[in-house]
Structure 1
């Protein structure tokens, strides 16, 4: 390539540009994308077993979740980073299908590589992939099931499908039940407020020990909130509790305009002590007269006042986080007051139970039982903190897919059934094209079958036999035939409750195709590198005088326009 009579440098070795053009650039991008997909596929199989990942910092992580694996992979090549972005967007927007998106993109790149070897131009491949994607997205809406998305059993099936292979059957069913209950509890029919769902994890136990709480669980260890455990005469459980929420320090007010107070004689000290005592008594009586059983304060509570509250049988919790104060207001219907002087019986919240619990060495405060509560919590359990973190990630995915199913309603059969039906449709659709785009559409159909093929491999079955049986079933019109993850056999997955939201499939297919086409269109890679301009070694002509363009230092900003 030349510009202005000068030959473009192939490489500037010091502080310049590394450039790869044409077929080599495209081949490098395709290879990087395929490598990421192949690594993810190999890491997940066979049989959905957990994998031990060891990072460069020595941290060991056990997981079989594709999104978790991608988050911990060190990805350097720009093409592979693009596929990672596809997976990230998939997880953020629809909560599931991250592995599907990456595997599909990798299969599309693999199919394109084979077409390049046959002499098909990249532009024809991307055009064929575009036609295939448009056709697949149109066909998806015709494959939706008639299940009622507001039915709890259907929502449990959606959540259960999202975590297939992550836990044993009883544990997965338990978590799916909790996710469906949580979403239904915060839904008003047209909207789901996920901010009203709190996830708290306590190491010890198993995922099957998780609990649904119709209120708020405050982890006193993780939160800044503290309660006086020395008040042993306080009950651990308050029934039909009335709760005060105060956003102000409780105790004697301190002077803030001066650093010291000067008094003359003991009468001055007695007056100060009497003033502080009067403030403490007034605050105590204000809280008690309102009928308070528990007071949550966003700031500090004076030790003397807290002790007196305890003697009155009132639980005092100080330094409660602001977000927890808002959640308590939603859970109890109480009003957050700016000072104790504003506290009235009408401002108090209500709860069926306020209890202090100790679970696996963790101190928890549970506020629940208000029939009008607008806050729910899931108390997650796991053997270790890492297990809790993995459980939290998977529960969040469950909440997202259940929300999609509840709000939008359209469900598709899982287990690779949808991909197999789309592949069969695309092969017929390809016959409508006379040119080489037909080959690209057929390659896209083959890429879609990567999903059922991988499911069969993970179940320990022969992918060739399973795919042959699956094709035969769909040729007979069995649209809901898919791969049973338990044994790799072909079965009616819809009847077995394996269903997924339409939005998950739509996003995965569209995102994977867009990423693959973007990489296939790139035929020129220019990489800027830091370095020292002195001692450079490059193979271009400086021209008359060898001027580098006004004495610029620290690299070659002139190189692109040479």
Structure 2
């Protein structure tokens, strides 16, 4: 009857209780969620950025202004806003700095796109324009970068110190940035050409001040858990031989369900003797190898500890994997999984080993190693939260220094790059007709959020600062002019040594654009209800009797499934 009158039944494809939203309102909802998240973290940007206190659980408190750390700790539920967390973490993993900048820029790109969406412009046009603007921005950035590959070694070292100091300028340890910048550069110069990050150890010890921190030319780690007999072992060696093991050196109790059938007491005694014979055989082979220091990833029990103490050998069990890897890299030792036929070439060596007191703990130091391709930074500070934030700051500076050493090109910071690229995009847009001109202009305007936010966070008049910067960059002789936090104005940030690797800005532009395009391309969200017991019989359509069973669709009908 219905088909004769021209009515079509409504086909229900999704489970009852499924939430579904689509169209322009969905895109605007995603934009609003991302902008709300950006408003939370944008005040951490720059040298005068504020810190965030994030409390998880009862006692886990983190105080930080590192964008990636804050974004990771926030329990974000909105699925679109989670993409901003992803780009922040990717920026941290790839470059190490600029984690707040990439989130702030992505949020501003979305904010600039919002009026176009409200006016009915298709988001694919916006995505196309943003991608084109990003390519132009990256190209212009590589054109204006300063190549330092032809500098002398001393000039390169000074350059790296300036880049590290710029990374530390916005951190809690900014008052000691020159002190830590030199330390970070020295640590990076200890590494191989592959610049493996894990070979720089950062150890934290509460007490003292930041100025008491120092760089260890070698490896240092906190004394591991020890048994009786440890205090009888020597704590200092000159030119020792080091053996690194992945073996457990202690007597293990039998499993609870183990069953052994014996006929007389002598057989039981032979089983006990065999266990002791096995452990003593291992210890004898280690002693015969000539090693003075025994390190193992696994436990070294009280029997082995006393055995080594009687023979003037130092041992440490349960050494963390990172620390053992650094010791092997520095001393040339190779980790052994057996003590059978230990040859001299697998043993490591260093000029000096000793145990020292650092604050309230004792540390083992491996110094003057011939193969030393690693370093350790011992951080001191007044409180636990302060030292934790100092560690995150040093990590960012190390990442920046590694990238600058590998890629040999820098640009000026302080918003100077963003203002210069913004000017270039505005000039380029004048030669384009149609909608793309407006979108590229919107991208150019979004770039100005970096200097604007730097000025706002410093308590300056951001409108006045931006007008001065636009004027300077438009004149053509001030491409490196950015926000001057010290004198509350603008200055040539290249002359004031506010430098950063080009890779930081390139990755920032690209990651922010990709995240923005991803969010703008989502026009529908389907949220499934909690799984329920299936109901008997087919699920009928809302409009008549001809509905399809749940989960089935006829030809030409699009089935949707959310997770």
* Cα distance in 2 between the residues matched to 1:125 and 1:32: 19
Question: What is the CA–CA distance in structure 1 between the aligned matches of 2:469 and 2:135, rounded to whole Å?
Answer: 24
How many residues were matched structurally?
543
Equivalents in 1 of 2:228, 2:183: separation in Å? 31
Change (3 A) 1:13 1:548: closer
Distance 1:342 1:526, change over 3 A: same
> In structure 2, do the counterparts of structure 1 residues 161 and 45 end up closer, same or farther at CA, with 3 Å as the change threshold?
closer
Please list the CA deviations of residues 406-430 of structure 1 after superposition, one character each: whole Å capped at 9, or x if unmatched: 1111211111110010011111011
Relative to structure 1, the CA distance from residue 274 to residue 449 in structure 2 (aligned partners, 3 Å threshold; closer, same or farther) is closer
User: Equivalent residue for 2:458?
Assistant: 459
1:125 corresponding residue in structure 2: 126
Q: Distance in 2 between matches of 1:115 and 1:369?
A: 64
Q: In 1, Cα distance between the equivalents of 2:275 and 2:341?
A: 20
1:173 paired residue among 175, 178, 188: 178
Distance in 2 between residues matched to 1:237 and 1:322, nearest whole Å: 23
Cα deviation, residue 356, structure 1: 1.7
Q: In structure 1, how many angstroms separate the alpha carbons of the residues matched to 2:17 and 2:100?
A: 38
Q: Find 2:22's aligned residue among 20, 43, 48.
A: 20
2:148 alignment partner, SS class: coil
Identify which range, 504-513 or 371-380, moves more after superposition. Answer: 371-380
Could you say what secondary structure the match of 1:365 adopts? Answer: strand
Number of the residue aligned with 1:187: 192
* Rounded Cα–Cα distance in structure 1 between residues aligned with 2:275 and 2:56: 61
Is the partner of 2:316 in helix, strand or coil? strand
Corresponding residue for residue 514 of structure 2: 514
In structure 1, what is the Cα distance between the partners aligned to 2:379 and 2:95? 22
Aligned pairs for 1:48-197 within 5 A: 48-55=49-56, 59-116=60-117, 120-148=121-149, 151-188=156-193, 191-197=194-200
SS of the equivalent of 1:96 reads coil
- 1:480 lines up with 2:485 in the alignment: no
Deviates more, 1:66-75 or 1:378-387: 378-387
Post-superposition offset of 1:312: 3.6
- Does structure 1 conserve the Cα–Cα contact (< 8 Å) formed by 2:9 and 2:547? no
Change (3 A) 1:421 1:41: same
Structure 1: gaps spanning 5 or more residues: none
Q: Assess if the C-alpha contact under 8 Å between 2:229 and 2:309 holds in 1.
A: no
Aligned-residue CA RMSD (Å): 3.9
Deviation of 1:325 after TM superposition, in Å, equals 3.6
Say whether 1:366 aligns with 2:365: yes
Matched-pair contact (CA < 8 Å) for 1:236–1:356: yes
Distance 1:547 1:279, change over 3 A: closer
Which residue matches 1:423?
422
CA change 1:268–1:515 in 2 (3 A) is closer
Query: Is this contact kept in 2: 1:331–1:374, CA < 8 A?
Result: yes
Cα contact 1:293–1:315 (8 A) shared by 2:
yes
Hey, which bits of structure 1, 4+ residues long, moved more than 6 A? Answer: 251-258, 260-265, 267-275
Cα distance per residue 1:28-57 (max 9 Å; x no partner)? 122112222222214658932323333475
Residues 343 and 155 of structure 1, relative CA distance in 2, 3 Å threshold: same
Distance between the aligned counterparts of 1:321 and 1:373, measured in 2?
19
| 3-state secondary structure, aligned to 2:103 | helix
Query: Do the aligned partners of residues 365 and 436 (structure 1) sit closer, same or farther apart at CA in structure 2, a change above 3 Å counting?
Result: same
The secondary structure found in structure 1 opposite 2:239 is: strand
**What is the alpha-carbon distance in structure 2 between the residues aligned to residue 33 and residue 275 of structure 1?**
63
| Counterparts of 1:343 and 1:420, CA distance in 2 | 63
Q: Alpha carbons of 1:118 and 1:187: their partners in 2 closer, same or farther (altered >3 Å)?
A: same
Q: TM-score scaled to structure 1, two decimals?
A: 0.84
Deviations 1:207-248 (CA, angstroms, capped at 9, x unpaired): 44333222222223xxxx434575545443323322233444
Report the Cα distance in structure 2 between the residues aligned to 1:550 and 1:460, rounded to whole angstroms. 58
**CA distance in structure 2 between the aligned counterparts of 1:140 and 1:114, rounded to whole angstroms:** 28
Structure 1 residues 262 and 174 mapped into 2: Cα distance closer, same or farther (>3 Å)?
farther
Distance in 1, Cα, partners of 2:269 & 2:228: 32
- CA distance in 1 between counterparts of 2:460 and 2:237 reads 56
CA gap of 1:315–1:105, structure 2 versus 1, over 3 A, is same
Shift of residue 117, structure 1, vs aligned partner: 5.1
CA distance in 2, matches of 1:375, 1:172: 22
Q: Could you report, residue by residue, the CA deviation over 1:283-332 in whole angstroms, capped at 9, with x for unpaired residues? A: 45x65565543222444546455334324432122343455444322221
1-structure distance, mates of 2:420, 2:340: 67
Contact in 2 for aligned 1:14/1:531 (Cα 8 Å): no
Q: Structure 2 CA distance, aligned partners of 1:551 and 1:120?
A: 35
- Contact 2:422–2:448 (8 Å) recurs in 1: yes
Where do residues 526-545 of structure 1 align in structure 2 (5 Å cutoff)? 526-530=526-530, 541-544=542-545
CA contact (8 A) 2:45 2:100 kept: no
**Structure-2 separation of matches of 1:237 and 1:297:** 19
Q: Is the 8 A contact 2:300 2:317 kept in 1?
A: yes
What's the CA shift for 1:447? 0.5
| 3-state SS of paired residue (1:526) | strand
Change (3 A) 1:510 1:170: same
More divergent stretch after superposition (470-479 vs 381-390): 381-390
Q: What residue ranges of structure 2 are gaps of 5+ in the alignment?
A: 1-6
In the superposition, relative to structure 1, how do residues 437 and 298 fare at CA in structure 2: closer, same or farther (>3 Å)? closer
Tell me, yes or no, if structure 1 residue 381 matches structure 2 residue 384.
Answer: no
Distance 1:351 1:262 in 2: 54
- 1:204-215 → structure 2 map (5 Å cutoff): 204-215=207-218
Q: Distance in 2 between matches of 1:6 and 1:210?
A: 75
Q: What per-residue deviation string (whole Å, max 9, x for no partner) do you get for residues 138-197 of structure 1?
A: 101011113358612211222222232212444333333232222221132xx2222322
Distance 1:111 1:275 in 2: 74
- Corresponding residue number in structure 1 for 2:470: 471
Task: Tell me the TM-score normalized by structure 2.
Answer: 0.84
